[in-house]
Structure 1
Amino acid sequence: MVGLVPYQLLNVDDPLSTALKATPYGVWLPALMDLGAIASLTSVALTALLSQTRIFYAMAKDNLLPSFFAKIQSRTETPWVSTIISGIFCAVFSGICPVDIVGQTSSVSALLLYFFVHIEVLVMRYTHKDLQRPFQTVVDPNLIAVVGAILCILLLIPIERQTWIQFLVWTGAGQIFYFCFGFWYSKRRQPQRIDSINSAVELVSTIGFALANHPQNEIKLNSNNNANSESESDSNNEASDDIIDNTIDDTTIMRF
């Protein structure tokens, strides 16, 4: 494009069409390229939307989202509830928010996702050393992960502050929902909850069994408690009598 027109003219919304207009095919080729761009953007949007519905489906299967996100349509065998909710949300969100904000926020999300993927590669190479890795690279995989993470950071630096604030607000809302719902109902926590419930049931049953089979211990315990209480009351009475006697003696001495 720089070879067709000066680069100052390419700072527009459709730089490719602007560059093609300077060619001998500038009458019909730019329109064809615009149609191709619209088709490609539509396919990318549909792909992202379909993948998002499957992500919601998988999260609902793990109880990280409400169960209705995992409902499957009997004829098409697709998560129809997730598709409808995601479609409505994306349509409303894209219609209300400016295109540049939506694009920058999506870019931040994608770059952070790729950054954590690169970091996860480094972590898994040390935490899962015995994992089968049939795919081989020419250079060290650790180097590729490090370079990829650095490139993601470099691409995140020029993003505006307002976009970061919007992204953090959106991420914070997701974290609040996770700790209010997904954290408590996830399948990974269910074994812990079941173990705690079973432990409580076993403890109650053990106590009931002990009381049912050894009632004399309870009687002895009660008798011991009564004896202790009686001895304590006797000692308290004796102490009070001593105090009264001492008080009388002191009073008598003061009179004399």
Structure 2
Amino acid sequence: MSEQQTLSFRLLRKKPVEKLISETQGADPEHGHLGRSITLFQLIMFGVGATIGTGIFFVLSETVPTAGPSVIISFLMAGVVAGLTALCYAEMASMIPVSGSSYSYAYATLGEIIAYFVGACLVLEYGISASAVAIGWSGYLNKLFEIVFGSGLPAALSAAPLISDNHRLAVGGDGYINLPAAILVFLCCLMLIRGTKESAKANAIMVMIKIGVLILFIAIAVTGFSASNFQPFAPAGFAGISAAAGTIFFTYVGLDAVSTAGEEVENPKRNLPLAIIAALIIVTSLYVLTAVTALGVQPAAAFEGQEAGLATILQNLTGSNWPALILAMGAVISVFSVTLVVLYGQTRILFAMSRDGLIPELFHRVNPRTLSPVANTIAVALFVGAIAAFIPNDILWDLTSLGTLTAFIVVSAGVMILRRTKPDLPRGFKVPLYPVLPILSILSSLYLISNLKVQVYELFGIWLFLAAVFYFLYSVKKSRLEPKARITKS
């Protein structure tokens, strides 16, 4: 490498795939590395755990008012787009089984500046998603308290002090702090600090509980099914379907979360592709079945503003508390797993960026006993917990979708680039119908992005501006690809 690099060269420099992989094997003693302890079943449960909970337990109250009963089509549309991207993720993950997910893939294919901004998108995506889920968990916990004790938590301790006025923050919320949401983030932080192996086992148990709870909901709800609730089917037309699909799409962050575990998975070239595809099939099937039965039980108009929606639906349908109690308890347990896996993914993205020198080294220090990045995990928990405690939920959903879709576009582009630049690199899985499917994945993701609200772009632009300032003041000089010499400007 030249002792001097122009600024343009620095922005576009790539990290060799071979170096990415060697770091995961402890070949570079300067950096921390993680241990491989996650099995295929646990990895599938990671994907399901990071996805189911956000989409079906909360987002119906956000999307049914937009699309009406045609929200079923929105779920299928989001699932198809996620499926196209899942195949691209499967190929990339089988080639580059490292922490960092689409950030690491972008570093190997598109260059440092693109990778850095993808990393910034992922940090936003995971952080906001974990906060949104924690707030939703607080609502189900409140519902559980109402069923068991006859009254919920006081608003002062279970609601944010800020509200969303046309997707803009303003003072005037019902409470001082959403304490349950902050406590959930703290508990997940403690579990992750104990180690990845223990966290993966606990998550697998919680995911099996949540699948059982959703099957119970479907079995009971189908007894009150009425086709009349599906009329009118699409009151807002295709525009409403597309807008709802864009909002729903954030729930598929679970697919990206699977690939963030690439450095800690047994036999990653085989297990990563299998886990991504299996998680997608399980998630989409349960989403559609739950949405159909929920819409068959109550009119679309009843979903708006409905807290702990699935539990409330069962309570209204049966006139009894026990089904709603079981569902609320299951939601409280299962949504814990969503927060756990999303926080895990956030820490692994930061771990990879720190190992590359783009953010402070604090984030890639690993505890030698638990092989987990403790300081990293605590920092993430403080950030996520603060957002969950003080920011209202509705401003967070679409912002997460934009970050997710941006990452998905990069992964699909990365597949095509590596097919040309590294055709002989071993692949445990190859995208079928290449290059049609990667191109369709990019186009469909761009379409969903175009349906998001203007305010989301404004907030996203502010975040990227702040990220750019940090990159040019810190990251570009600290990058591990930076030679120990003064840089010339182009």
Q: TM-score when scaled to structure 2?
A: 0.37
Map 1:63-142 → 2, pairs under 5 A: 63-137=357-431, 139-142=432-435
- The higher radius of gyration belongs to 1
In 2: Cα distance, 1:121 partner to 1:41 partner:
32
Residue number in structure 2 paired with 1:7: 300
Where 1:21 maps in the other structure, the secondary structure is: helix
Q: In the aligned structure 1, how far is the partner of 2:371 from the partner of 2:458? A: 39
- 5+ residue gaps, structure 1, are 198-256
Q: Residue 147 of structure 1 corresponds to which residue in structure 2?
A: 440
| Contact preservation (8 Å) 1:72, 1:80 | yes
Shift of 1:115: 1.8
Structure 1 letter corresponding to 2:436: L
CA distance in structure 2 between the partners assigned to 1:116 and 1:26 by the alignment: 48
Moved more, 24-33 or 180-189: 24-33
Query: What amino acid maps onto 1:115 in structure 2?
Result: I
Letter in 1 for 2:352: A
Q: Structure 1 stretches (4+) deviating beyond 6 angstroms?
A: none
| Paired AA for residue 153 in structure 1 | L
Q: CA deviation at 1:134?
A: 3.5
Higher relative CO (Cα under 8 Å, sequence separation at least 6) belongs to 2
The SS at the match of 1:135 is: coil
Match of 2:333 among 35, 39, 44: 39
1:144-169 per-position Cα deviation (integer Å, ceiling 9, x unaligned): 21222222223223321112111111
Q: Does residue 57 of the first structure (1) align with residue 351 of the second (2)? A: yes
Asked whether the 8 Å contact 1:64–1:186 carries over to 2, the reply is: yes
The percent of aligned pairs where both chains have the same amino acid is: 26
For residues 167 and 47 of structure 1, what CA distance do their matches in structure 2 show?
Answer: 23
Matched, 1:157 2:450: yes
1:8-23, aligned counterparts within 5 Å?
Answer: 8-11=301-304, 12-23=306-317
Question: Any conservation in 2 of the 1:62–1:187 contact (CA below 8 Å)?
Answer: yes
Point out the structure with the larger helix share: 1
Q: Which amino acid aligns with 2:387?
A: F
Counterpart selection for 1:177 from 470, 474, 489 = 470
| Distance of 2:333 and 2:398 partners within structure 1 | 21
SS in 2 for 1:59: helix
- One-letter amino acid of the counterpart of residue 43, structure 1: S
Query: Structure 2, unaligned stretches of length 5 or more?
Result: 1-293
SS across alignment from 1:49: helix
How has the CA–CA distance of structure 1 residues 19 and 47 changed in structure 2, closer, same or farther, with 3 Å as cutoff? same
Could you tell me which amino acid in structure 2 is paired with residue 116 of structure 1? V
1:60 touches 1:66 (CA, 8 Å); kept in 2? yes
Q: Which moved more, 1:23-32 or 1:122-131?
A: 23-32
Secondary structure at the residue paired with 1:46?
Answer: helix
Whichever residue aligns with residue 295 of structure 2, its letter is: V
Count of aligned residue pairs for this structure pair: 193
Distance 1:127 1:74, change over 3 A: closer
